[in-house]
A and B are shown apart, each in its own frame.
Chain A
Amino acid sequence: EAQVTQNPRYLITVTGKKLTVTCSQNMNHEYMSWYRQDPGLGLRQIYYSMNVEVTDKGDVPEGYKVSRKEKRNFPLILESPSPNQTSLYFCASSLSLTGGLNTDTQYFGPGTRLTVL
């Protein structure tokens, strides 16, 4: 089944304890992205990757790191989490960024609910 998977789905942690949220897609998509969803703020992009070893900042990258060493994986790393990073995180992927043949439709993972105490 074609899908985007995220792990863990739920995580409660404490301030300063490094954590990684994994994201994997099995659709051979070039483009991957991380968003966070917060009440009243909607979904905002954190980082994105156009292909392997190519990553760039989105709108709210502070406090996050990413890597894209393999096409299928795009982990989100919080080196020193803080309470303001408590949020619902979504990983998304699309075949490409161009609009031809609907290849830029983004498919989302199930979400990771993170609480930082």
Chain B
Amino acid sequence: AQKVTQAQTEISVVEKEDVTLDCVYETRDTTYYLFWYKQPPSGELVFLIRRNSFDEQNEISGRYSWNFQKSTSSFNFTITASQVVDSAVYFCALKSQGAQKLVFGQGTRLTINP
């Protein structure tokens, strides 16, 4: 069975602090894909990033960075110099090759205080 765990239900930091959102996954598949989505207060789900299981290279996009470690089955998301606009619920998700659905974690509610 596949499972995604986001142990941090809520995180609250002050603006400009760095914050890391944890994601741990379980799968027996050798080929799979990991995703992060952002759900701002307006409610929509915004795609942020996709990683393949065979590519463990970390990725940076502006203030966002992702650390994929197959050895610990983790795909953590770091926001550097957080801003109020980063306040949202963030979801980590897993999909096996050819699978017909995403398996989502429970989400982490991130609040950035001015």
Contacts and interface: CB of A to CB of B under 8 A. Distances in A.
Interface of A: 31, 33, 40-43, 45, 48, 50, 56, 58-59, 88, 90, 92, 97-99, 102, 104-111, 113
21 contacts: A31-B100, A40-B106, A41-B106, A42-B105, A42-B107, A43-B91, A45-B101, A45-B102, A50-B100, A97-B100, A99-B98, A104-B33, A104-B95, A105-B35, A106-B47, A108-B37, A108-B46, A109-B44, A111-B44, A111-B45, A113-B43
Majority-rule SS of B interface residues: loop
A40 B31 CA distance: 28
Contacts of B37: 108
A54 to B, nearest CB: 11
A97 B101 CA distance: 9
A98 B44 CA distance: 25
A106 B98 contact: no
Contacts, number: 60
Query: Nearest 5 pairs between A and B by C-beta?
Result: A108-B45, A45-B101, A43-B104, A110-B44, A42-B104
Chain B interface residue count: which class?
20 to 34
B69 interface: no
Interface string B65-81: 00000000000000000
B83 interface: no
B50 interface: yes
Given A31-B100, A48-B100, A97-B98, 16 more contacts: A40-B106, A42-B91, A43-B91, A43-B104, A45-B100, A45-B102, A92-B45, A92-B102, A99-B33, A99-B52, A99-B95, A108-B37, A110-B43, A111-B43, A111-B45, A113-B43
Contacts of B43: 88, 110-111, 113
B97 interface: yes
Nearest to A43: B104
